[in-house]
Amino acid sequence: MNILGVFRGFPGLGRVVSGISILESLRDCYGYNIEIISYLQGNKYLESRGYTGLQEAIPMDYCSIGLLPTNKMGVHIHNRIKAFRPDVIVIDGEPLIIQSLKISCPDIKIVTLLNPSDVDNPKNDKEAMDYFNALYSLADLAIVHGLRNVVTPYKYKELLTTKTVLRHEILGIKNKPSNNIYCVLGGGTVNVGHQFAESTIRIASLCQKVAEELSDYNMHIICSSQNIYDAINENHSDSNVILHNQVLDATKYYSDASLIVTRSGRNTLSELVYLGIPAISFVLGCSYRKMEQEQNMENLHRNNIKVASMDISVAEMVKLCKLLLSLPKQTSTFKYGNDIVLNKILKL
């Protein structure tokens, strides 16, 4: 059996990590042959996992909602399908590609992976939500995974809602807290607006200042791209601040973190809850993304993960860090959605 994955590679890695985990599990546990197509940050992640021969997108290949089916990357996808002849195609974050493949390859089963906010987000325009749901519902199977269940009035062929799909390497991590705090800025600084990049720099700068007051800890700031690293490095002087100019392997920082500072994305929050690591999570971005992040936080119900606003002072941030660092280790009861999703795909 052959299975192809097409995953949007911006603005962060949320569309990539879950999809890759599913495909690699199908390969390693069930003998599927797999191929994966992504671009931008997604290709960097694929390279870090040993994938080679990747096709890169150019600006004319994509818009704010993903790949355009009629430009070069669209042609590349169709050529790969003709050569690889997949039995199933798994797509995350590419509504236009779903529509294109249903026109050109109507006999191939298509699975779309969705964030709950892809299906239901009151902060997005109704007309936009109508459009997205119309395209997603073309798939043979739609899987909504995240921190909340959704009920939708739209007519899907088959719709499954479940807990977040976690990267399979996360499932084997045992967190042993040390004197390391990690500020994880994610992959979301490519193909984003100036305001989003600036807020990322503000979080990193805040962590630099907090490190001065937490001298017993090493503050690791994991920059998602070179521009963020360059901006932070200009004022880098503290000996207990360690800057990283690329995304680290998650098994590294999750293994010994005593505290994580991050954004309120579905995947990261789910991983933190599963591992029981204390965290400070910032809610930021456009109204659409802020609504999604606020809903994520509302559905956690965890006292070891606290939300912070962008106007938090250094003193308040230090106080919050000390509070979380003093908490006893949390026992995880998080039920991830990996097995449910795999079994559903196998039944296709």
In a shared domain, residues 15 and 75? yes
Can you give the residue range of the structural domain that contains 115?
Answer: 2-165
**Which range is least confidently modeled, 33-37, 49-53, 110-114, 245-249?**
245-249
In a shared domain, residues 27 and 161? yes
What gap in Å lies between CA 55 and CA 40, rounded to an integer? Answer: 10
| pLDDT more than 70, % of the chain | 91
In a shared domain, residues 91 and 39? yes
pLDDT of amino acid 285: 57
Q: Is the pLDDT of residue 278 over 90?
A: yes
Residue at which a domain ends, from 165, 189, 204: 165
In a shared domain, residues 210 and 136? no
| Within a domain: 7 | yes
Residue at which a domain ends, from 122, 143, 165: 165
Average pLDDT of the chain, as a whole number: 90
State the CATH number of the domain containing residue 211.
3.40.50.2000
DSSP 320-341: HHHHHHTSPPPPP----SHHHH
Q: Is the pLDDT of residue 192 over 70?
A: no
The encoded tokens of residue 95 equal: 């509504």
Q: Is the pLDDT of residue 347 over 80?
A: yes
What gap in Å lies between CA 75 and CA 12, rounded to an integer? Answer: 24
What tens digit of pLDDT does each residue of 19-52 get? 999 999 999 999 999 999 999 989 988 998 999 9
In a shared domain, residues 108 and 187? no
| Within a domain: 204 | yes
Residue 289 pLDDT level (bands cut at 50, 70, 90): low
Answer positive or negative: Cα dihedral of 287, 124, 57, 138: positive
Which of 57-61, 246-250, 291-295 has maximum average pLDDT? 57-61
**Which range is least confidently modeled, 90-94, 139-143, 332-336?**
332-336
Contact 51, 73 (CB under 8 A): no
Phi–psi pair at 286, nearest 5 degrees = -70, 170
| Within a domain: 318 | yes
Q: Is the pLDDT of residue 297 over 70?
A: no
pLDDT of amino acid 329: 81
**Which range is least confidently modeled, 88-92, 106-110, 282-286, 288-292?**
288-292
Q: Is the pLDDT of residue 135 over 60?
A: yes
Residue at which a domain ends, from 165, 190, 214: 165
In a shared domain, residues 72 and 151? yes
What gap in Å lies between CA 77 and CA 276, rounded to an integer? Answer: 39
- What is the Rg, in whole angstroms, of the alpha carbon atoms belonging to the chain? 20
Helices (H) and strands (E) in the chain, counts: 13, 14
Domain count, the chain: 2
